[in-house]
Structure 1
Amino acid sequence: MTQRSLFVRAIWFVLVGWWLTPIVVNLAWALTVTVILAPVGIKLVNLVPTVLTLAAPRSLSDPNLGREQYSLVVRALYFVLVGWWLSFLWANLAAFLAVTIVGLPVAVWLANRLPYVTSLYRFHG
């Protein structure tokens, strides 16, 4: 999928992205905390940059996807001790900064790193 034009992305942000992102962020967090629905929550976390600014979704052909991951045990332990609460704060900070417009570049940076903050999942460089 190719990246949409900056103009289209800016219009999306002004009309939809700024108010929809906090909803998606908190829904994703709530689903992730349930553990059973965590896979759905993680999928939503991965879509946050797209919801915010229509950024092209990360594809499986991304060369950074092949990076070595922490073991599932380490990632699960991290999520239970740190990831669940830190991701909530991180994602809501990103959503707040996005609404300020001036903070939008930082919000996008935070949103792109949300999967790592949630569960140490590496997939974006």
Structure 2
Amino acid sequence: MSDPTTTQNGSGATDRSEGVNVSVERHENSPSIAVRAAYFLLIGWWASGIWLSVAWFLVVTIIGMPIGIKMINLVPKIVSLKERRIETTLTESASGDVTITESGSEQHSLVVRAVYFLLVGWWLSGVWMSLAWVASVTIVGLPVAVWMYDRLPYVVSLYKY
């Protein structure tokens, strides 16, 4: 691993030599699976029922729709403290400039998502949430419920969590 060296040229400006190494470390923001499981058993299962009821009620009202959709997009975090996936991209230009970009998943256009929500998402999300919550209160259905909760934002509005 080479260290970059810095020199001053005659005009007082600083030049950097070649050989700059860049290291990017990603740390998982979600708590450990043990913490997430304990949270779910103590809080997540009942809090998610209340959260989902309020969110879906807001979704079917015109005024509350934006808040309800935002609440639904946060369901994986409310249920089990799961953080949204962030993708990191490292690119290097021909001149040696390094750019690090962090972004969420690529989303469908807002128009497509709105049309889907109006035709399918609002009613399918109600059925999906109900089935997921019922599955979450049973030991056997818990893995299915977690899978369903992770996909709920997509079911309601094609939002990739």
Normalised by the size of structure 2, how large is the TM-score?
A: 0.65
Cα deviation for residue 6 of structure 1 reads 2.0
Where does the alignment leave 5 or more consecutive residues of structure 2 unmatched? 1-27, 89-102
Question: Is the 1:70–1:120 contact (alpha carbons within 8 Å) kept by the matching residues of 2?
Answer: no
Cα deviation for residue 86 of structure 1 reads 0.6
Cα distance in 2 between the residues matched to 1:110 and 1:71: 23
> Over residues 93-120 of structure 1, what are the superposed CA-to-partner deviations in whole Å (9 max), with x where a residue is unaligned?
1111111122122111111111221122
Cα distance in 2 between the residues matched to 1:66 and 1:12: 26
Question: Is the 1:87–1:117 contact (alpha carbons within 8 Å) kept by the matching residues of 2?
Answer: yes
Change (3 A) 1:12 1:31: same
Residue identity over aligned pairs, in percent, reads 50
Higher helix share: 1
Aligned residue identity for 2:131: L
Cα distance in 2 between the residues matched to 1:48 and 1:68: 18
Cα distance in 1 between the residues matched to 2:131 and 2:87: 27
Moved beyond 3 Å, runs of 4+? 61-66
Is 1:98 paired with 2:136? yes
Indicate the residue corresponding to 2:149 in structure 1. 111
Where does the alignment leave 5 or more consecutive residues of structure 1 unmatched? none
Cα distance in 2 between the residues matched to 1:7 and 1:52: 14
**Count of aligned positions:** 120
The alignment's C-alpha RMSD in Å is 2.1
Is 1:16 paired with 2:55? no
Aligned residue identity for 1:69: H
Indicate the residue corresponding to 1:55 in structure 2. 82
Cα deviation for residue 84 of structure 1 reads 1.0
Cα distance in 2 between the residues matched to 1:66 and 1:47: 15
Cα distance in 2 between the residues matched to 1:23 and 1:38: 17
**Greater relative contact order (Cα < 8 A, sep 6+):** 1
- 1:25-104 pair list within 5 angstroms: 25-56=52-83, 58=84, 61-62=86-87, 65-72=104-111, 74-104=112-142
Cα deviation for residue 29 of structure 1 reads 0.9
Report SS of the residue matched to 1:113.
Answer: helix
Higher strand share: 2
